[in-house]
Amino acid sequence: MAATKLAIGNAQDGSTSSPPAGLTTVLVIGAGLIGTSVALAISRQGVKVHLRDTDPSAALAAQALGAGTVEQPREPVDLAVVAVAPAQMATELAAAQAAGAARAYTDVSSVKEAVEQASSDAGCDMSSYLGGHPMAGRERSGPWAAKPGLFEGRPWIITPTRATSAVTERLVRELIALCGAVPVVMAADAHDRAMALVSHTPHLISALTAARLEHLGQTEMMLVGQGLQDVVRISGGDPRLWADILVSNAGAVAGVLGEIALDLQRVTSALLAVASSCPSMLAQAWEEATVSLLDILGRGRAGHDRLPGKHGSPRQSFAEVHVVVGDNSGALARLLADVSAAGVNVEDIVLDHAMGTPRGTVSLQVSSAASATLPEALQALGWKAYGPLTELHRRNGGHPQ
Amino acid sequence: MAATKLAIGNAQDGSTSSPPAGLTTVLVIGAGLIGTSVALAISRQGVKVHLRDTDPSAALAAQALGAGTVEQPREPVDLAVVAVAPAQMATELAAAQAAGAARAYTDVSSVKEAVEQASSDAGCDMSSYLGGHPMAGRERSGPWAAKPGLFEGRPWIITPTRATSAVTERLVRELIALCGAVPVVMAADAHDRAMALVSHTPHLISALTAARLEHLGQTEMMLVGQGLQDVVRISGGDPRLWADILVSNAGAVAGVLGEIALDLQRVTSALLAVASSCPSMLAQAWEEATVSLLDILGRGRAGHDRLPGKHGSPRQSFAEVHVVVGDNSGALARLLADVSAAGVNVEDIVLDHAMGTPRGTVSLQVSSAASATLPEALQALGWKAYGPLTELHRRNGGHPQ
């Protein structure tokens, strides 16, 4: 999740004073990372929280952390938060409603349409239920990893339907406000398609890549770089939980997988043509494979560049100008004064000062237009300044890890 | 690349004294990240380095950083390092050999068999050439990102053939020693298969995933989490350079892609069966898709767990015991004394102290066997200690980002 704070939906002042009128008691069903973090966040705000888990030691751990009490409520609470895996949600919701556990109910499942459908099929009262999905998490799971600040400034999707009662929505919005999160209203199916694209399918793709490493040898292990580590990091997640999520969002995930399979088939065919080409056809096969790869890699980079960057700006509109400077803090100040006098706005600065060398590089991120003129302007002032590398160098001189 | 230092191949004492007898002059062809980093590393050791690039400003920048001189050598140097993209390597090598630029030649291409074949086809003298591939890199490229310490402790693959002369191999090994790297001998085809598995295919898979984000909307953007950011990070690399690498290693990459496509097809079919199932068949389709997903996700996690961990240990043989403690530094010391007295060895400790709460969790990584008995032993001493969560909780209570 990008660090950027959002300001969408109902504005929240993040106050930490007395609990709001409506929400004074909450039952958290499922004392995992999310359930316990919710409990910690609202307990601090004065809400009375009851904790329940199929594993008593999880609920006891959450209680020991100060998230609430494992004593069960004697009267219906204001809101029950069902924080279990998607496949169990409808069953837990139906049981809680049958027991009259709360005035209103919400969940935290990362799949919404299947969970809503299953709840409706299970005969749940859909007026007192509002689907929710807080966009926050950690690599570590379980109550031990819970943090009261986990949701601060994060989007918390809610998926109201025509059946949702006003009081249910008000109580859930109070919960979100107490957690410091930002409510975002979406339709359940739009939420699920988006999650298939940005979370569920990437997880499966990461696992498909990692599955190839099952029999990795010692020598091959030495060749592993940070790139692979990043691609497969999330494949370390719990297979059972993720299988549940993926099946619960089967249609949307299959749609994205189908698109990936088309690209994959195209590029595999092009590479096989190169590998099996007779010498006289090699140049043509090579050229065709290059065109196919450039298309996919180019679209990949375009997608990559859509993601929130450091300043949330589209990166492609900037370029870097590099200046070699001595080991002298006054030089940076003089350089920036000269850049400013040249009328150029600096978006970002990277200092790259290699240990043990007397010189380093200052890389200035400026507009593409400025990157064309700034090097010459700085050279005229005596700086060793260089613009972005030419396409010729990029083709000939680069070398990746 | 894991931080672990390697001790394979010829042991190096990493001395920074006078240059070794054989290697006193080097020509670096291609002043990108790798070429300039090599030049910086060996210049510091007293080697005279000449720099050349198709983009004069790249060579000038490398010179300004102290990597050597853009003046071209008047006599053959000891070793020429051809640090260009794979597709240009044979052409550059043939030209350098025709000009009698050096006594020996090496390259830094991440593909070895195609480059060797192309060099041989181009009529290069294969006795004075030894293929190389330093396993080091950065996200940033170009001479500005170069660092003399880039290769310290990293493996540097060399692929000698029967044609390689002894003097060529000696000079290249001296270069590697001066860079502080560790030489690792591999056959070219084994290197390429391994690189397809751990680098080239993961890059393409990252791009295939990122290509789906090209038309991401504003609302969907809010749902992007760290998992996706990690999977697609490397897809921001230069498409032209990566297309070149992938085509140069076409056969090996197509082989890995084929394996991925088989898994992909199987799981897509299973998900489509769920999405298009009539209600009476849904439970069966759900169950079958779950089995298929658990297989792939399980193999993915097994592959993930093969990668070098924090201590290079297989992670699956450890389990966590969690202890809730007060905000008191003496508590941690007492806890560790009690754990030690229980005869349990602690592999790793994670302190999770949420801001603004009086309590936190100490998670102790211990052997699976110890995780079964330690909680009770600690509880007897008054600690709030909990073992790994049960399978029941894992199925019901967890929740991922």
ipTM value? 0.74
CA distance B170 to chain A (A): 22
In what helix (H) or strand (E) does residue A129 lie, and over which residues does it extend?
strand A129-134
A55, A60, A275 ranked by CB distance to B390: nearest:
A55
The residue among B304, B355, B364 with the most chain A CBs within 10 A of its CB, best to mutate, is B304
SS (H, E, C) chain B: CCCCCCCCCCCCCCCCCCCCCCCCEEEEECCCHHHHHHHHHHHCCCCEEEEECCCHHHHHHHHHCCCCECCCCCCCEEEEEECCCHHHHHHHHHHHHHCCCEEEEEECCCCCHHHHHHHHHCCCCCCCEEEEEECCCCCCCCHHHCCCCCCCCCEEEEECCCCCCHHHHHHHHHHHHHCCCEEEECCHHHHHHHHHHHHHHHHHHHHHHHHCCCCCCHHHHHCCCHHHHHHHHHHHCCHHHHHHHHHHCHHHHHHHHHHHHHHHHHHHHHHHHHHCCCHHHHHHHHHHHHHHHHHHHHHHHHHHHHCCCCCCCCHHHEEEEEEEEECCHHHHHHHHHHHHHCCCCCCEEEEECCCCCCEEEEEEEEEHHHHHHHHHHHHHCCCEEECCCCHHHHHHCCCCC
- What is residue A10's predicted lDDT score, i.e. its pLDDT? 38
Tell me which residues of chain B have a pLDDT lower than 70.
1-21, 139, 309-317, 327-329, 352-358, 390-401
DSSP structure string for B143-187: GGG--TTTTTT-EEEEE--TT--HHHHHHHHHHHHHTT-EEEE--
The residue among B28, B92, B115, B247 with the most chain A CBs within 10 A of its CB, best to mutate, is B247
- What is residue B392's predicted lDDT score, i.e. its pLDDT? 54
- What is residue A390's predicted lDDT score, i.e. its pLDDT? 64
- What is residue A14's predicted lDDT score, i.e. its pLDDT? 41
B31, B138, B211 ranked by CB distance to A300: nearest:
B211
Tokens of B303: 């592959």
pLDDT for B162-172, tens place per residue?
Answer: 999 999 999 99
Test B222 with A354 for CB contact under 8 angstroms. Answer: no
- What is residue B11's predicted lDDT score, i.e. its pLDDT? 36
Test A363 with B137 for CB contact under 8 angstroms. Answer: no
- What is residue B122's predicted lDDT score, i.e. its pLDDT? 95
Test A110 with B155 for CB contact under 8 angstroms. Answer: no
CA distance B134 to chain A (A): 8
The residue among A235, A259, A353 with the most chain B CBs within 10 A of its CB, best to mutate, is A235
Q: How far is residue A47 CA from its own chain's centroid?
A: 29
- What is residue B59's predicted lDDT score, i.e. its pLDDT? 95
CA distance B279 to chain A (A): 11
- What is residue A15's predicted lDDT score, i.e. its pLDDT? 42
Test B206 with A227 for CB contact under 8 angstroms. Answer: yes
- For residue B38, the chain A residues in CB contact (below 8 A) are none
Q: Residues 6 or more apart from B365 whose CB is under 8 A from it?
A: B318, B319, B320, B346, B347, B348, B349, B350
- For residue A305, the chain B residues in CB contact (below 8 A) are 236
Spatial contact of A151 and A41, defined as CB atoms under 8 Å apart: yes
Per-position pLDDT tens, chain A of length 401: 333 333 333 334 444 444 455 899 999 999 999 999 999 999 999 999 999 999 999 999 999 999 999 999 999 999 999 999 888 999 999 999 999 999 999 999 999 999 999 999 999 999 999 999 999 877 677 898 899 999 998 999 999 999 999 999 999 999 999 999 999 999 999 999 999 999 999 999 999 999 999 888 888 888 888 889 999 999 988 899 899 999 999 999 999 999 999 999 999 999 999 999 988 898 999 999 999 999 999 999 999 988 875 333 334 567 888 888 876 657 777 888 888 888 888 777 777 665 455 677 788 888 888 888 999 999 999 998 988 776 555 544 444 43
Of A302, A216, A227, A257, give the one whose Cα is nearest residue B245.
Answer: A227
- For residue B234, the chain A residues in CB contact (below 8 A) are 227, 230-231
- What is residue B132's predicted lDDT score, i.e. its pLDDT? 98
Q: Considering only alpha carbons, which residue of chain A is nearest residue B214?
A: A303
Spatial contact of B244 and A290, defined as CB atoms under 8 Å apart: yes
- For residue A60, the chain B residues in CB contact (below 8 A) are 384, 386
pTM of the prediction? 0.75
- What is residue B357's predicted lDDT score, i.e. its pLDDT? 56
Test A399 with B85 for CB contact under 8 angstroms. Answer: yes
Spatial contact of A358 and B44, defined as CB atoms under 8 Å apart: no
Neighbours of B202 (CB within 10 A): 27
